[in-house]
Structures are given as C-alpha cells and as structure tokens.
Amino acid sequence: MIDLYRVLPEEMDDLVVKLGHPRYRAGQLLHALYHESPRKMSDLHQIPTSLRDALVTAGYTIGSENEVHRVVSEDGHTTKLLLKFDDQTLIETVLMQYSKDKSHPRSTVCVSTQVGCPMGCVFCATGQMGFEKNLKAEEIVSQVLHFARILRQRGEHVTNLVFMGMGEPLANYDEMIRAVRLLTHPRAFGLGQRSITISTVGIIPGIDKLADEDLQIKLAISLHAPNDELRKKLVPTAGPHSVGDLIMAAKRYFKKTGRRVTFEYALIDDINDSTKVASELARVLKGNGAHVNLIPMNPTAGGFHRPARKKVLAFQQILRNGDVNCTVRVEKGVEISAACGQLRTDMIEKIN
C-alpha cells in the first residue's frame, strides 16, 4: 500500500491522469487531503467515487497513524502525543503554543524523524534508547496533520514546524526533505518555508546538502560545548574537530542561503555551564553572526540536571558581554515528560 501523503503534487498530477481522470482532480484531491482532515479513503467526498475506487484498486491509502496517549501541560499550552503507526512503531510529537495579542496563538509542531536516534547524546532520552528505524516522509507529515486536525477544531492552525523531536533529521535526509516539500508546497499543506527549523547535532555533509536545496528554512545546530573534548563526552559520535567544523559549516550555510544559523546549547548542571566554559564559548563564537539558544535541559533518566536559574542568566550574560547574540529558550512542558523520547520510554516501561 502507498500512502497518498507521500505523493508530491507533481506526482499527484501524473497519478490522476494515469488513472484516467482530468488533471484538475489532483488539485481537489490535494486540498481534501491537507485541509479537510480525512481519516480514511472513504472520507474523500470532494472527489468522484470512481477516482476514489481507482486509487484504492491501485493500492493507495491514507491514515497510517493512531493516537494512543496524550498528555497536556498544566497551562494547556503544550500537548505531547504518542502515535502508533501500522507497523506498531511508537513515536512522539509535540504541540507548543505561545499566546499572542491576536486571536490565533503561535502553534509550533515538533516532529520526530526517526524511532530512537543513532547519535547517542548522553543527556538525551532518545539518544539513550538506541536506533530502531527511519520514518518515512508520510509518517513525518502525518504528525503535523494530526495536530492540524486538533487545532482546526479550535479554529486555530499550525504556524510553525521544528524538526527537533526523536531522531537526527539529517540522518534521514531524503525522507525528511520530501516531508518538507510536501508540507511547504502551496498545493499541499502550504506552510511557509521560513516557519520551519531543522535541528541537527552536526552531520556536516547534510548541512552542506541542505544549503543547496533552495529552501528558505532555518537551521539549528546542537553545539553543547565550546571545545572538542567536552563535546565528545556529551555527543559520542562527534568528530575530532567537530566544534570548528560545525562553525565553518554554519558560515557556509549562511553564505549560501542568507539564513542565520542558531547554535543550540543544552545547559547541564556542573557539566557545561560554568563561567569558564561560557567565556570559552564566547571566544569561539564571537564575530560569526550566529545566534545562541540556551536550553536549560529537561531532566532525563540519565542523572543530568538543569542549572539553577541564576547560573543560566550568568552564562547568558557572559555571552552577551562577548558580543554573542543569545537568548534563553522559554521552557515548555517540563511536567509532562517534554524531553525528547521521555514519553515513549515511560509508556513502554508501563506496557512491559
């Protein structure tokens, strides 16, 4: 079976014509798929029954994900879902909402690209569960559409998308890019390219390849340390010169795309949050025009902890004093196992 959420609009045109129907039916089908919340093929009332039957006969289907668990933060602004696909795979996706003066809040969906992760970051719940499989483009798209259905019932819509869930997006490059093109295509979901951020722990060939895609998407690089020795302890897959190599890759990305790169830095108590480390980070990043996003880490099973607020602000001030643009990420969903992989790990433990 082939999921219709895998089919690019240009491919949909060819498919509809191949099945003996006018090309304009592809537009009707795409609008129904991405804006009418169908859950199964019989929900596609906007196209002729003959086309629906032809698609089914040809082996096409929709709706591969089912929600098996949902947790909502106390303030109602963060919702985390555990989704199950037809092959029984469990993945997480998160909705984070930020109030605005306007009627619609900023609604950011955080999607997973893999089940588990091969990068092995020692402080990350996903990194510690190992790697199981890459997600297909349609499985990535379905995470966004699942929340789009929920938001549509509230009169709201998805405004932003971040590839910061389970897995390393650039390690599943082709499927990730296909999902991006489906979600940004004006004939499909139609999300603005500049509303998307892809986060990587540092796959440099993937960063360079992404810069050549002619996409106006944002890039975030998880740095976590100002020197190679410390970074290797936190990110076991890091190369011997990863800090310098990543800074150069960020410069190439900016030069090629004109899009400023963000360096993400997870602050871990008594590991990488000292004033000495902050000063070193300021020296390394000074003058490169990048933005640093400090992330007081969510507690995980690895025994790591977030620094006290006073230490976070002191770290930030040192960077700013060193002329490095820096902000502290707004915390979302700490009380609902918001860290990547935590909900899935918790639920599997309960099931077993």
- Catalytic (active-site) positions: 92, 340
Q: Provide the pLDDT for residue 63.
A: 80
Render each residue's pLDDT in the chain as its tens digit; 352 residues.
999 999 999 999 999 999 999 999 999 999 999 999 899 999 999 999 999 999 999 999 998 799 999 999 998 999 999 999 999 999 999 999 987 656 679 999 999 999 999 999 998 888 888 999 999 999 999 999 999 999 999 999 999 999 999 999 999 999 999 999 999 999 999 999 999 999 999 999 999 999 999 999 999 999 999 999 999 999 999 999 999 999 999 999 999 999 999 999 999 999 999 999 999 999 999 988 889 999 998 776 567 899 999 999 999 999 999 999 999 987 655 554 555 544 444 444 444 3
Phi-psi region of 330 (alpha: psi -120 to 50; beta: other; left: phi over 0): beta
SS3 67: strand
* Contact assessment for residue 292 and residue 265, using Cβ atoms and an 8 Å cutoff: yes
Q: Provide the pLDDT for residue 147.
A: 97
Q: Considering only the top CATH level, what class is 2-61? A: mainly alpha
CA distances from 175 to 136, 282, 329, 348, 349 (A): 6, 36, 28, 26, 29
Say what the pTM is: 0.93
Cα separation of 80 and 73, whole Å?
9
* Contact assessment for residue 251 and residue 204, using Cβ atoms and an 8 Å cutoff: no
Q: Which residues contact 239 (CB under 8 A, 6 or more apart)?
A: 245
Question: What token pair was written down for 270?
Answer: 């008594």
Q: Provide the pLDDT for residue 278.
A: 98
Q: Provide the pLDDT for residue 348.
A: 43
Q: Which helix (H) or strand (E) holds 2?
A: strand 2-3
- Each domain of the chain, given as residue ranges in start order, spans 2-61, 65-351
**CATH code matching the domain that covers 65-351, chosen among 3.20.20.70, 3.40.190.10, 3.30.360.10, 3.30.70.20:** 3.20.20.70
Count the Cβ atoms, other than its own, within 10 Å of residue 165.
25
Cα separation of 256 and 247, whole Å?
14
Q: Which residues contact 165 (CB under 8 A, 6 or more apart)?
A: 91, 92, 93, 94, 110, 111, 112, 113, 143, 340
Q: Provide the pLDDT for residue 101.
A: 58
* Contact assessment for residue 319 and residue 282, using Cβ atoms and an 8 Å cutoff: yes
pLDDT in tens, 11-50: 999 999 999 999 999 999 999 999 998 999 999 999 999 9
